[in-house]
Structure 1
Amino acid sequence: MALEQDIANLIQSTDALTAVVDNKAQQLDNQMAAFDTRIAKKEQDVDKFIQEAMPETRYVQDIFIGGSKDYFYPVWWRFPSNSAGTSKLTIARHYSRNSDTRPLDPNRPHQAALLLELEGNTYPWSGDANFMHIKRFHERYHPTVSHLSFAAHCKSEKVDATLDSYGGGADGSVGPWCRAFSGLYLRGGGLNYRIIKNWNGDVKYHDGADMNRRNIYETTSDTWSVRWYAEPIPFAERLAPTLSSIPYANHPYTPPTA
């Protein structure tokens, strides 16, 4: 009887110990679950912080414009539409760039400093916001920018001589005509420029390899046609950008006629 009682007591003690262990295990599981929830929340907080703190994506395009220092060469682009909000474009030069070749001044290492910051939205033919704003403009040592325009400064001609010319005017007329692109002119002679944007896609430009024109855009309808093209501009005809606190568009929106 004594042995049977001892066995019964041992079983009872084992059951009690198992209950204690199970209870501790449940408490540990509950604590681990709470830890997992807190860790997951912290991970979400960190991800949100990184997302909000991460700087805006920058797309950098380095270009070189040869040719003559006595000419400005055309550069043109399209700002993205309303879907991208306000788009940004910066054209910059460190003041000591090209100090090895000294294309503008052989007597000093400082050739030309440039910082031109633009904000804009789409292009003159679009139905969205249609604007360009000069946020900052700084030049030093030598001028490098000319004829900045929301509707790119260019020449116009008919694609089909039997049709009317879009917008009127004779072939070869010059002005801020291009309804499909914005643009400016950068000084040549052997200068490097850096283009920084918050949208993907390259800016188009004349690299100064020749003095020939560059076609920007052409289109034809049933009754009219147009080709916009740009040629290098002599330094003597330079038109510097004008700072303004008010965003501007060169032309109000005019939809193409059928």
Structure 2
Amino acid sequence: MALEQDIGALIASTNQLTAVVDNKAQALDKQMAALDARVAKKEQDVDKFLQEALPETRYVQDIFIGGSKDYLYPVWWRFPENDYGVSKLTVGRHYSWNGNVGQRPLNSASAHQAGLLLELEGNSHSWSGDARFLNIKRFTETYNNTASHVSFRLQCKAEKIDPTKDFYGGGEDGSLGPWHQTLNGLYLRGGGLTYRIIKNWKGDVSFHDGSDMLRRNTYEASQGNWSVRWFVEPIPFTERKAPIANTIPYVNHPYTPPATA
């Protein structure tokens, strides 16, 4: 009997201990769950803080344009459309870049070559169905002029690619003008100058690096009863058209609605 009583007491004690352990485990689980929830909340708070505290992402591309200082070379891109919002593109260069002895393409007697800050905002291209604009927000040059022909529709030349069809758009006479319907652009001075392109969207701009004086074909199409090829090439610096800062859309860059397909 005494042995059975001892065994019964031991079982009861074990059961009590198990219950205590179970209760502590449940309490610990609740504490861990509460801690996990607090950690998750802190992670969300940190992510939100970083999103609000970090500046807008900048994508930087440095380009070098050789060739001759007596020529302007084309630079072209396409602004994203409405789903991206307003796109920003800045062309800049520090006034002393390319000013080391043995470089100095614009002024051999000085390290001060040319400073440039050209800030643009825009959306889409002429054939798009979205907002379609380019604004020159800020423009400043020091020591020497470098920027020219800023245009919502890239200043280019045009030619017919199918002689049996009509010519599309302007420029059939071979003149340089804002004929391009799918690209935006400008021209920058060559001779051995470095420029920095800063954007808020991914993807590089295209440019003529001055390695030759040949043209660059940028678009061609033959549809229905029309055909066209748009191309760019270096133009003399004497034909420079200085950018005019103005935040009113189209004031510097005449806009025409997209053609009907």
Q: TM-score, normalised by structure 1?
A: 0.89
Q: CA deviation at 1:11?
A: 5.2
Q: CA deviation at 1:2?
A: 7.0
Which residue pairs with 1:123 in the alignment? 125
- Whichever residue aligns with residue 236 of structure 1, its letter is T
- Whichever residue aligns with residue 246 of structure 1, its letter is I
Which residue pairs with 1:55 in the alignment? 55
Which residue pairs with 1:137 in the alignment? 139
Cα 1:234–1:34 change in 2 (3 A) is same
* Whole-angstrom distance in 2 between the partners of 1:125 and 1:7: 92
Say whether the 8 Å CA contact 1:158–1:171 is kept in structure 2.
no
Q: Which runs of no fewer than 5 residues in structure 2 stay unpaired?
A: none
Cα 1:223–1:19 change in 2 (3 A) is closer
1:105-127: per-residue Cα shift (whole Å, max 9, x none)? 01111111111111111111111
1:145-190: per-residue Cα shift (whole Å, max 9, x none)? 0110101112222222332211255330322111121111100010
* Whole-angstrom distance in 2 between the partners of 1:170 and 1:16: 98
Which residue pairs with 1:91 in the alignment? 91
Q: CA deviation at 1:10?
A: 5.6
Say whether the 8 Å CA contact 2:89–2:119 is kept in structure 1.
yes
Which residue pairs with 1:256 in the alignment? 259
Say whether the 8 Å CA contact 1:126–1:253 is kept in structure 2.
no
* Whole-angstrom distance in 1 between the partners of 2:185 and 2:83: 21
Please identify, of 105-114 and 24-33, the stretch whose mean Cα deviation from structure 2 is larger. 24-33
Please identify, of 48-57 and 12-21, the stretch whose mean Cα deviation from structure 2 is larger. 12-21
SS in 1 for 2:19: helix
* Whole-angstrom distance in 2 between the partners of 1:6 and 1:163: 110
Which residue pairs with 2:160 in the alignment? 158
Q: Which runs of no fewer than 5 residues in structure 1 stay unpaired?
A: none
Please identify, of 40-49 and 92-101, the stretch whose mean Cα deviation from structure 2 is larger. 40-49
Please identify, of 57-66 and 129-138, the stretch whose mean Cα deviation from structure 2 is larger. 57-66
Say whether the 8 Å CA contact 1:125–1:253 is kept in structure 2.
no
Say whether the 8 Å CA contact 2:170–2:179 is kept in structure 1.
no
Q: CA deviation at 1:13?
A: 4.9
Q: 1:241 aligns with which of 240, 243, 254?
A: 243
Q: CA deviation at 1:43?
A: 1.7
Q: CA deviation at 1:45?
A: 2.0
Q: CA deviation at 1:12?
A: 4.8
Cα 1:9–1:140 change in 2 (3 A) is same
Which residue pairs with 1:19 in the alignment? 19
* Whole-angstrom distance in 2 between the partners of 1:7 and 1:222: 100
Q: CA deviation at 1:8?
A: 5.5
Say whether the 8 Å CA contact 1:110–1:141 is kept in structure 2.
yes
Say whether the 8 Å CA contact 2:149–2:243 is kept in structure 1.
yes
Which residue pairs with 1:227 in the alignment? 229
Say whether the 8 Å CA contact 1:77–1:203 is kept in structure 2.
yes
SS in 1 for 2:73: strand
Say whether the 8 Å CA contact 1:105–1:111 is kept in structure 2.
yes
RMSD: 2.3
* Whole-angstrom distance in 1 between the partners of 2:3 and 2:171: 120
